[in-house]
Structures are given as structure tokens and as C-alpha cells.
Amino acid sequence: MSEILLASALVMLASIVGIVSVWRSAGAALERNLHFLISFSAGVFIVFAYGLAREGIEHSGSTTVGLLWMFGGALFVWVAFKFMPGLHQHEVRTTDHDHEHAHLHLDPRRMLLTDSVHNAADGIFLAAAFATGSVFGWAAALSIFVHEVLQEISEYFVLRDAGYSVGRALRINFATSATIMVGAVGGYFLLDTFEMLEGPLLAVAAGGVMVVVLHDLIPHSVREAVSATHYLKHLTLFVVGAGLMAGVTALVPHVELEHIDTPVNLQA
């Protein structure tokens, strides 16, 4: 149990380590170009959604079941936030050097909800990995950590563009990543039951992320590109984001685990 908790805590640090490192080295430049970085985030998240969908279908037992869970997740996220009062997109005037342009703030709540679901599924995966042994467990933790660094940096860009302060964005990112503990602890005590939930959770998260990309991030980038006629910059950053996430996925794939019938005793 102690190994699972430690590995989960280290993965949670990905929500801060990557962000702080990037912001300390290029914070001022990034702050001035947040509207462009939403396109980068869209590229990262579209590859991320593809990976979630593939894993969700694989762990759901059949393509049909996986696709149904994805559709259900997308529909739930879209409907829930369609009728939820609160933050809506609104236009403000921002100054960038010598010119002004209209800037639309994003509503990041869909992204935060789907990321919370995905992190819980990662926690279940982590518990299953440690049930096969420490080597598999730490390999899984490393894989999740590397993927999370790029994803959480992209999520941070969205939160900052939505108007969140640096401190609040970091706190929310960290709180969202903490749902990995729910999956990890639940997976440790009820592995068979929670393993059954992993596929549906991944597929639901994939559907939710696709809503975020297609309903929030890409339309936002298109409006920004049209308002400031920076089409090439937005397209380039989208491709860079997608390429980086695809590269990370190829270089550090998720550890593949066989179904676990008899969990190893992990009591510390």
C-alpha cells in the first residue's frame, strides 16, 4: 500500500513540476502568448483523447461497448455544462504590444471534470500494476508521470487563458490530479471491482476530452486566429502540440498488463 501511495503522490507532482519548470524559464513570453498556446493545448489534448479512446475500447471488452461509453461521456459532459450556470465565454479587450484584439475567455470546467475522471482511471491502473509486482508498478508510475507532465502543462495554459491566477491554476491542477488517489486506494482494496470500472472511466474521459477539444479549444483558437489573422501561428502550435504528445506516447507507452486474477499482497 505504501508503494502505491508514494507512486500516486509522485505522479501528482507532475501537475506542478513541469509547469513550474516551464514558467520559470519562459514565463513572461508564455504569458504574452497564452492565446496562441491554447492551440498548442488543443493539439496535445486531441492526441491525448485518441490514446484514452484506444485504451478505453481495449479495456471495455469490445469496440461497441467502448464507443457507447465514449458517446455517453461526451453527451454527459456537454449536457451538464450546457445547463450549468456560472462561467460563460465572454469577450474582453487585451493589449498585445501596439494593437488590441478581442479575447474570449474559456470555461475550463469541462476539461477539469474529464481530467479528474481520467486520473481516477490512472489510479486503478497503478494499483493493478503494483499488484503484479514492484517493477511493473514503478514502470507504470513512470509512464503515467511522463504523460502527465505535458498534459498538465497544457491544462495550465488553458486555466491561465481562462483568467485564473498563477496560484489558483496551480492549486486547481494539483487538486484535479489528486483523484488518482481515489482510483489507487479503491483499486488496492477492491481491485477486481475497480478493474471493471477502468475501461468505462477511460472511455467516458475520452468522450469528455473530445468535447473539450471540439467544443472549447479548437473553436476558441479559430476565433482568436480570425480576430488577429494569425492563422499560421495557431496551426503551427497545434501541430507542435500534437507532435509532442504523439512523440511522448510513442517513446514512453503505457505498460501493458495482463488481467490479474490473484493480486500480490502489497501490505507494507
**Which pLDDT score, from 0 to 100, does residue 84 have?**
65
Asked if residues 244 and 150 have their Cβ atoms less than 8 Å apart, the reply is: yes
**pLDDT for 258:** 53
pTM of the model: 0.78
Q: Please give the Cα distance from 71 to 263 (Å, whole number).
A: 32
> What angle, rounded to 10 degrees, do the helices at 2-12 and 14-32 form?
0
Tens digit of pLDDT at every position of the chain (268 positions): 889 999 999 999 877 877 887 777 777 777 778 878 899 999 999 999 999 899 889 888 889 999 999 999 999 888 877 776 554 444 443 444 434 444 456 778 889 999 999 999 999 999 988 988 888 889 889 888 888 888 888 999 899 888 898 889 999 999 999 999 999 999 889 888 887 888 899 999 999 999 999 988 999 888 888 877 788 889 999 999 999 999 988 887 766 655 444 444 444 4
Chain centroid offset of residue 73 CA: 15
The confidence score (pLDDT) of residue 85 equals 58
Q: How far apart are CA 197 and CA 204, in angstroms?
A: 10
Q: What is the pLDDT of residue 92?
A: 40
Dist. CA 161–CA 142, nearest whole Å: 29
Res 82: pLDDT: 75
Predicted local distance difference test score (pLDDT) of residue 119: 92
Residue type, 64: T
Contact 107, 162 (CB under 8 A): yes
> Residue ranges of the domains in the chain?
2-20+37-82+108-251
